[in-house]
Amino acid sequence: MSATRTIRGAVLNTMGAPTPYASSRPLTVEDLELAGPGPGELLVRIEAAGLCHSDLSVVNGSRPRPLPMLLGHEAAGIVEEVGDGVASVEPGQRVVMTFLPRCGECAACATEGRLPCERGSAANAAGTLLTGTRHLSRPGTGEVVQHHLGVSGFATYAVVDERSVVPVGGDVPPPIAALLGCAVLTGGGALLNAGRITPETSVAVVGLGGVGMAGLLTAVGTGCRVIAVDAQESKLATALEWGAAEAMTPAQALERKAEASVVLEAVGHPRAFETAFRLLGLGGTLVTVGLPAPGALAEIEPLQLTAKAQTVVGSYLGSAVPKRDVPAFEALWREGRLPLERLVSRTIALEDINEGMDALASGEVIRQVVAFDGAPVTTA
Ligand SMILES: [Zn+2]
Ligand SMILES: [Zn+2]
């Protein structure tokens, strides 16, 4: 194992802190020790890391994880060092992190992305890398700091398993590369892999955050007619600018009896799931990627499922095989069919991560990306 280095990272110390987080500051940006990569692992210099609702869900405690934990799972950077046996990437390459490594050996990994990898899911729940190792600790005390979803991208450097990354072209801007690993793979992958959309498919997207908007751009880029649904008027206007045929609030969608053959639910709240279900047309498929709090229940009318021959599909990480799907989305972006630049509302400094979580919780932004290495920051 190579040398340990000191890094800067944003560590979550308590879940469920009171809002605003700008005051309670549940995340502390601090110096940490990062042990170098072991066999099958890489050291990555992080260039960009997006703030996603799955980070916020750990901060607010709706998705409990072991603490303290260095958060961030939507990230991209440059490989600086590889451990023994690493053959798929080389130092100097830009890589996209993916938040669910696929071991390639378990039964779930043989399902073409339909099922989440069993070993990857277990490692994520335990706060380790795929091989079960931990590399982060607090200097002085030696207190162990957990990894977040095998990535821990809110830091200047990360050690990750080789199976947690996919290489991309050096021409892909770091914020775009970061988004490819979560928002795009989840929202776009859900529609392409689980919804199996074609240009003829009518699509509704419920929830216009980063994941929902990535789904919307994917559907528009595919040639689908898209209905955008969100409670925030400003997001409806944006959706229309980005190619949605119609945009409406959930109440308007139900009142107008809007229908689509594939509905993407990208909110993670039972009420949004109920709305999405009611928008399903004859033979329609509801693809849900949201992560409501454990135990949260939704009310649906089972008769509708039977009488209209509908399907409800759960999709984790867009039912994606990252090594297959990240290059496909990268190609769509390069062809100009997936204008992912639009998703980046602003870039922020790592020190402003708590303020960023407040903005994410308010729903006023689509994607904020932490910029490293002195990259331009658009807000203080
Ligand atoms: Zn995410
Ligand atoms: Zn597996």
CA 160 to ligand 1 center in whole angstroms: 17
For residue 68, how many other CB atoms are within 10 A of its CB?
20
Which residues, in sequence order, are bridge partners of residue 344?
367
48 falls within a domain: yes
CA 179 to ligand 1 center in whole angstroms: 9
- The pLDDT value recorded for residue 46 is 98
Specify the CATH number for the domain of residue 165: 3.90.180.10
Q: Which of 300, 95, 113, 306 shows the shortest CA–CA distance to 181?
A: 95
CA 101 to ligand 2 center in whole angstroms: 8
CA 73 to ligand 1 center in whole angstroms: 6
CA 116 to ligand 2 center in whole angstroms: 7
CA 73, distance to chain mean position in Å, is: 7
331 falls within a domain: no
Q: Which of 159, 80, 100 shows the shortest CA–CA distance to 316?
A: 100
CA 130 to ligand 2 center in whole angstroms: 10
Question: What is the phi/psi pair of residue 376, to 5°?
Answer: -60, 140
CB within 8 Å of 214: residues ≥ 6 apart = 179, 183, 184, 186, 187, 188, 340, 343
Ligand closest to CA 109: 2
The pTM of this model reads 0.95
Residue 226 and residue 119 share a domain: no
328 falls within a domain: no
- The pLDDT value recorded for residue 364 is 87
Residue 38 and residue 161 share a domain: yes
356 falls within a domain: yes
Ligand closest to CA 122: 2
71 falls within a domain: yes
CA 98 to ligand 1 center in whole angstroms: 9
CA 148 to ligand 2 center in whole angstroms: 18
Residue 256 and residue 299 share a domain: yes
CA 164 to ligand 2 center in whole angstroms: 12
Residue 143 and residue 14 share a domain: yes
- Would you say 370 and 70 are in contact if contact means Cβ atoms under 8 Å apart? no
* Length of the chain in terms of residues written: 380
For residue 218, how many other CB atoms are within 10 A of its CB?
29
CA 162 to ligand 2 center in whole angstroms: 14
Ligand closest to CA 183: 1
Per-residue pLDDT of the chain (380 residues), as tens digits, is 578 999 999 999 999 999 999 999 999 999 999 999 999 999 999 999 999 999 999 999 998 999 999 999 999 999 999 999 999 999 999 999 999 999 999 999 999 999 999 999 999 999 999 999 999 999 999 999 999 999 999 999 999 999 999 999 999 999 999 999 999 999 999 999 999 999 999 999 999 999 999 999 999 999 999 999 999 999 999 999 999 999 999 999 999 999 999 999 999 999 999 999 999 999 999 999 998 988 999 999 999 999 999 999 999 999 999 999 999 999 999 999 999 999 999 999 999 999 999 999 998 899 999 999 766 666 54
CA 213 to ligand 2 center in whole angstroms: 29
- Would you say 179 and 74 are in contact if contact means Cβ atoms under 8 Å apart? yes
Residue 220 and residue 95 share a domain: no
Instruction: Determine the Cα–Cα distance for residues 130 and 221; give it in Å rounded to an integer.
Output: 34
Residue 220 and residue 71 share a domain: no
- The pLDDT value recorded for residue 257 is 96
- The pLDDT value recorded for residue 273 is 98
What is the sign of the dihedral through the CA atoms of 209, 210, 211 and 216?
Answer: positive
Residue 78 and residue 23 share a domain: yes
CA 102 to ligand 2 center in whole angstroms: 5
What is the SS3 assignment for 213?
Answer: helix
- The pLDDT value recorded for residue 88 is 95
* Number of domains forming the structure of the chain: 2
CA 136 to ligand 2 center in whole angstroms: 24
What is the SS3 assignment for 102?
Answer: coil
Ligand closest to CA 209: 1
Residue 161 and residue 35 share a domain: yes
Residue 114 and residue 16 share a domain: yes
Residue 112 and residue 61 share a domain: yes
Query: Please, is 293 exposed, middle or buried when counting C-beta atoms within 10 Å of its C-beta (0-12, 13-18, 19+)?
Result: middle
CA 39 to ligand 2 center in whole angstroms: 18
Ligand closest to CA 185: 1
179 falls within a domain: no
DSSP states of 122-151: HHHHHTS-TTS---EE-TTT--EEEESTTT
Instruction: Determine the Cα–Cα distance for residues 257 and 204; give it in Å rounded to an integer.
Output: 12
CA 319 to ligand 2 center in whole angstroms: 13
Q: Which domain holds residue 245?
A: 184-316
329 falls within a domain: no
Residue 167 and residue 188 share a domain: no
Instruction: Determine the Cα–Cα distance for residues 190 and 186; give it in Å rounded to an integer.
Output: 6
Out of 316, 331, 354, a domain closes at: 316
Give buried/exposed letters for 117-154 (b at 16+ CB in 10 A, else e): bebbbebbeebbbbbebebbbeeeeeeebbbbbbbbbb
- Would you say 304 and 274 are in contact if contact means Cβ atoms under 8 Å apart? no
Residue 240 and residue 286 share a domain: yes
Instruction: Determine the Cα–Cα distance for residues 10 and 29; give it in Å rounded to an integer.
Output: 4
54 falls within a domain: yes
Ligand closest to CA 118: 2
Instruction: Determine the Cα–Cα distance for residues 290 and 53; give it in Å rounded to an integer.
Output: 10
Ligand closest to CA 51: 1
For residue 56, how many other CB atoms are within 10 A of its CB?
18
CA 119 to ligand 2 center in whole angstroms: 5
